[in-house]
Structure 1
């Protein structure tokens, strides 16, 4: 499944940069410049996450969020140059899911999107099927040609992360943060060892190496 993100940002350079980065990370992205366009897109298309600025021409970010929340619990991340504490507190009172202050790291933004998607959607996803593999989500069971494969816990979590993000290139650092946690102090080359083991237990072509960048599983 490919997740869809709606980006609402009136500054064209920022909007273009966000759309390009999120697209490269494996998501379908629709970007618009105004609250009115966002509302129209929300009503006519399906999205999994909305990223919106608060200071928008016409229909403001606040008004847009209120209209969306009257109809949906879709995850909303606010991106804003307004860093005042009370403003951020008020934004959370509109039932947003996260707040990112400008300027921000694109990598951190992707982490936040992925965390929200895992929390919101993967609980409902029970199985992933890819070629001759069947993975039982969050249950530490993987079958290959119908036979149970003996993966360690970290091998399973690594494979599940790559399968959920099919098409996205993950760096070693991203995988360490997502699976071992931000406070992991070991060598990121442990990722290479786990990838090697997964390939041996399943099949070598399953996980592609992107030279100088990281790893990914190709889309079907």
Structure 2
């Protein structure tokens, strides 16, 4: 049985029918072609309460290819946090006071690996009719303070070579309510543990 983690709820899905994408974002998102988008330019941004932080290795991107004969294939890669000062300085203001915004991207190696997968699944006449989707997920997070009765909300953004800027995927999505809709007895203190002392925690200093 899979243990539910509050942060394991889907951040965003570009597959048809995603119910949390604002209608105003759909025209820009519709321009994204999973078969050809420049994966090196893809950026995913997450805005969370300032005391909730995604852990390294906890944000992933999955590409799914659905073959015309009914087969389903997928590849997943872990996104890495963007730390380039020049890029971060050029960001628009995407987080309000009391919020923490974290930006993620694919590593060059993972971008190349997923590019090979796309070539195998979408290129050439034999793959005509195959469909694809892209999703972003977060399944590891921690908190710097005590559990709060205030709902934990998440806002997500996506930027690709087609959009050229950050497109809102969801605004103030209530993770607390969504988690309790799945499991009313979920313990939020356990689902999002304290950051201090966790392996790979943002607050844990790397070993020399």
Q: Which of the five TM-score ranges fits, normalised by the shorter chain?
A: under 0.3
| Bigger RCO (CA 8 Å, 6+ sep) | 2
More strand by share: 2
Q: TM-score, normalised by structure 2?
A: 0.24
Larger Rg: 1
* Larger proportion of helix: 1
